[in-house]
Amino acid sequence: MEDPTTLDALRAQLAPAIADAAAFDGWTMQAIEHAADMAGIDPDLAAFAFRDGQMAMIEAWIGHVDARMVETVPAATLSNLPIRERIRRLVMARLDAATGREEALTRALAIMAMPRNVATAAKLGWRSADRMWRLAGDTATDYNHYTKRAILAGIYAATLQVFARDTSEDKAETRAFLDRRIEGIMRFEKAKGQFLRKPEERFSVTRLLGRMRYPAH
């Protein structure tokens, strides 16, 4: 029986090289063979590690991006920053990890959009958003836990689409797009917070009219 820990380590080791090869070979067995050859690993063992196909390769690459994000933006460096800056840095760290592999990313996004892969892709997006929020210091356990991750997963997915085809210098278009989306989420959170305040703290037209009619003495 195969050791899943060893196979996980092998997938993690080969993931970035597979992504490099995927720019030319697509997310195929050829990409796995090329990565295995570069790493000096038995190609049959590499093929077995990725026997579940394209989504297994893509998931391993996403895991590599996760690891790079943690390495380049550790939680301790974020603690004194505003929440919007924490999220921006974490998303950009993920994009930086994919820089130079835009063609592989484009192919991966197309595969993830296939009907048979949508559910798995959604889970991977949720997982990425969860890891970003946790690194950002989010401790919400109520419904905010879910809404924050759903919204960030959507923002990240849209930003990936822009990033994959962005040819501007230093990915300026992607950065501007991300900043606009994060600003939008901050406005939403502020408005939601005002709406969901305790009843006695919410603005009330009835209470205002009552005060106008019966002013306090």
Task: Determine if the pTM surpasses 0.85.
Answer: no
- On whether both 199 and 185 belong to a single domain, the answer is yes
Asked which of 51, 68, 83 is the last residue of a domain, the reply is 51
Mean pLDDT estimate for the chain: 88
- On whether both 61 and 126 belong to a single domain, the answer is yes
Question: How many domains would you assign to the chain?
Answer: 2
Range of the domain at 67: 54-205
211 domain residue, yes or no: no
71 domain residue, yes or no: yes
215 domain residue, yes or no: no
- On whether both 88 and 169 belong to a single domain, the answer is yes
210 domain residue, yes or no: no
Is pLDDT of 103 > 50? yes
CA distance 154 to 125: 8
Integer distance in angstroms from the first to the last C-alpha of the chain? 82
Q: Are 137 and 78 in contact (CB under 8 A)?
A: yes
Q: Which CATH number does the domain housing residue 70 bear? A: 1.10.357.10
Q: Could you tell me the pLDDT band of residue 213, with boundaries at 50, 70 and 90?
A: low
Cα 158 → chain centroid? 10
- On whether both 65 and 11 belong to a single domain, the answer is no
- On whether both 5 and 104 belong to a single domain, the answer is no
- On whether both 16 and 96 belong to a single domain, the answer is no
- On whether both 44 and 106 belong to a single domain, the answer is no
Closest by CA position to 112, among listed 170, 58, 172: 58
Q: Are 159 and 174 in contact (CB under 8 A)?
A: yes
Q: Are 106 and 171 in contact (CB under 8 A)?
A: no
What mean pLDDT is predicted for residues 79-100?
A: 95
- On whether both 109 and 22 belong to a single domain, the answer is no
Q: Are 105 and 160 in contact (CB under 8 A)?
A: yes
Note the pLDDT of residue 208: 46
Q: What is the pLDDT of residues 14-37, one digit of tens each?
A: 999 999 999 999 999 999 999 999
- On whether both 114 and 134 belong to a single domain, the answer is yes
Q: What is the pLDDT of residues 138-189, one digit of tens each?
A: 988 888 889 889 999 999 999 999 999 999 999 999 999 999 998 877 776 6
Is pLDDT of 209 > 70? no
Of the listed ranges 46-50, 93-97, 197-201, the least confidently predicted one is: 197-201
Maximal C-alpha separation, the chain: 86
- On whether both 63 and 77 belong to a single domain, the answer is yes
216 domain residue, yes or no: no
Q: CA geometry: angle at 193 spanning 188 and 199, to 5°?
A: 140
Asked which of 26, 51, 76 is the last residue of a domain, the reply is 51
Closest by CA position to 63, among listed 16, 119, 109: 16
182 domain residue, yes or no: yes
Asked which of 30, 51, 72 is the last residue of a domain, the reply is 51
- On whether both 100 and 162 belong to a single domain, the answer is yes
Q: What is the pLDDT of residues 126-136, one digit of tens each?
A: 999 999 999 99
